[in-house]
Amino acid sequence: MYTVADLKKGLKIILDGDPYLVVAFDFVKPGKGQALYRTKMRNMINGSLLDRTYRSGESFEPASLEERTMEYLYKEGDHYTFMDQQTYEQVVMEEETLGDAKNYLLENLKVEVMLFGDKAIGISLPNFVNLRVTATEQWAKGDTSGNDSKPATVETGYVLRVPPFIEEGELIVIDTRTGEYSTRVKG
Amino acid sequence: MKVDALWLRANVIKTVRDYFWERGFLEVETPLLIPANAPEEHINPIRTTLPSWQLQTSPEICMKRLLCNGHKKLFQISRCWRSDERGSRHLSEFTMLEWYRSDCDYQTLMSDCEGLLQYVAAICQPDNCFFVHNSAKIDPFAPWQRISVQEAFKRFGQIDVWDCLNKGLYEEILTAVIEPALAGFGSPVILMDYPAELAALARTKPTDCGLAERFELYVGGLELANGFSELNDPTEQRRRFEDANCSRSKAGQDVLPLPEPFLNTLALMPESAGIALGLDRLVMLTAGVDTIDEIVAFTPEEL
């Protein structure tokens, strides 16, 4: 168990059954008064922020979280399945939990899955992923409209802006941190 | 740059020392390692391996004994220790300035505060003569505000301070509502006349025994000093120490030893007033930084 004296930025604790990350912390103690421990915490499942003030004597359960490398297998409805290649253990995550990460999930992609107990609560992706363009308009040579990008759909169904010279069937590199086109894969 | 901060720190300490020397105060050194502090409900001393001996949480007890011995104007700059206090404005080991005067009350200390802060600002920040906290400028030469605690709670929190105390909300309201409101003043603010239960070593007002002659000095919403007219009734003082220990015991805290020699000489103490000022915080205000870490040579985490 943690006590209020253990509170600091980066501490992970369990609150009402959910894992929370302490993102801001301060100790305040008015003259001769009781000490207060002010925290701002982020719910590690849904990302919501919470302000809480604690007093001496309160205690917290540590949230033990584990990151494991897993491979993305398939999607069924709103559910995405990942598998640990070492133990063959599978976990399922809902589209809502994945957020934007779903845009880059191609079968067999290796990702880091964050586990809280046996529940998967999030993934971290490689910074760059290669995805094939499945649909985009032809670039008309001599186009003088001045557009320096056009929409393109990649094999995961994600739509992004790409330079006009990108053609259907080409493999492009996408920065998963921004969701933007990075470069074209040659060859 | 920490180098600059340490030069400024040294200058503030020297300036404070000069201020009191020039005004005829005796600079004293009292022992840091003592058998008993004044027991307080919310202040935890650091114990040592000497059975029952502790590091001082304030030089208060020894300095008041010097008043009992007949000294009239005293000051001390010393290290104090309070267990488990660490935050952006707190260190477990910190530097305290305390001064005591006999034959006067807390009003005189308020004037001392004005003089001291104006002197420090003029010498340590000669270009602009003001303090800075959380980007706000505070001018010690502008007229100081004096507000009673009751009035502050009513005005800034639309709430009764006694009600807050009864509901255990005093600290929350003070730090979340009152202090930020005090930060809005461009001059230092004196919060005065505290409910008696919040002033274990202070004298109550002759006109209202529910209020103590205690004040806190705020600069830019930062609590800088705590002063009061001293209680010099040994029976009443013993009762308050025992009350503090009783509250500690109820809260699961250890019961602290009483400073018996202090209680035994307290009857000899003339009418007096004394004040403790967080010197690290005065350096923060002079440097215009918002964390105590920036103005000490090393934080505990760096050791």
CATH number of the domain to which B184 belongs:
3.30.930.10
Which among A12, A41, A62 is the end of a domain? A62
Of B106, B93, B99, nearest in space to B74 by CA: B99
d(CA A58, CA B143) in angstroms, rounded, equals 43
Q: Count of domains in chain B?
A: 1
Contact B90, B222 (CB under 8 A): no
The shortest C-alpha distance from B179 to chain A (Å) reads 9
Q: Residue A44: is its pLDDT beyond 70?
A: yes
Closest alpha carbon within chain A to B221: A30
Flag if B85 and A26 touch (Cβ within 8 Å). no
DSSP string computed for B17-32: HHHHHHTTPEE----S
Q: Give yes or no: residues A39 and A76 share one domain.
A: no
Window from A45-54, A151-160, B22-31, B219-228 with minimum mean pLDDT: A45-54
Confidence category of residue B9, pLDDT binned at 50, 70, 90: very high
Flag if A31 and B86 touch (Cβ within 8 Å). no
By residue range, what is the domain housing residue A110? Answer: 65-124
E runs forming strands in chain A: 2-3, 12-15, 18-28, 36-43, 49-55, 59-62, 65-76, 79-83, 90-94, 110-116, 119-124, 128-136, 150-154, 159-162, 171-175, 180-184
Q: What token pair was written down for A161?
A: 């802006």
Collapsing DSSP to helix, strand or coil, B175 comes out as helix
Q: Count of domains in chain A?
A: 3
**What ipTM does the predicted assembly reach?**
0.80
Closest alpha carbon within chain B to A8: B87
Find tokens 């995405």 and name the residue. A80
Best mutation site among B40, B42, B214, B216 for testing chain A: the one with the most A CBs within 10 Å? B42
Q: Show the 3-state SS of B35-75.
A: CCCCCECCECCCECCCCCCEECCCCHHHHHHHHHCCCCEEE
Whole-structure pTM value:
0.81
* pLDDT tens readout for residues B39-86: 999 999 999 998 889 999 999 999 999 999 999 999 999 999 999 899
Q: Residue A187: is its pLDDT beyond 80?
A: no
H-type alpha helices, chain B: 2-22, 60-68, 106-124, 149-157, 161-166, 170-173, 179-182, 234-250, 260-265, 279-287
By residue range, what is the domain housing residue B58? Answer: 2-302
Flag if B171 and A36 touch (Cβ within 8 Å). yes
Which among A44, A62, A80 is the end of a domain? A62
Q: Give yes or no: residues A120 and A134 share one domain.
A: no
Which among A62, A78, A111 is the end of a domain? A62
Size of interface A-B (CB pairs under 8 A): 51
d(CA A40, CA A45) in angstroms, rounded, equals 15
Flag if B223 and A32 touch (Cβ within 8 Å). no
CATH number of the domain to which A167 belongs:
2.40.50.140
Flag if A33 and B171 touch (Cβ within 8 Å). yes
Best mutation site among A28, A36, A52 for testing chain B: the one with the most B CBs within 10 Å? A28
Q: Chain A residues with CB inside 8 Å of B216's CB?
A: 31
d(CA B149, CA B153) in angstroms, rounded, equals 6
Percentage, residues of chain A above pLDDT 90: 60
Q: How far is CA A173 from the centre of its chain?
A: 18
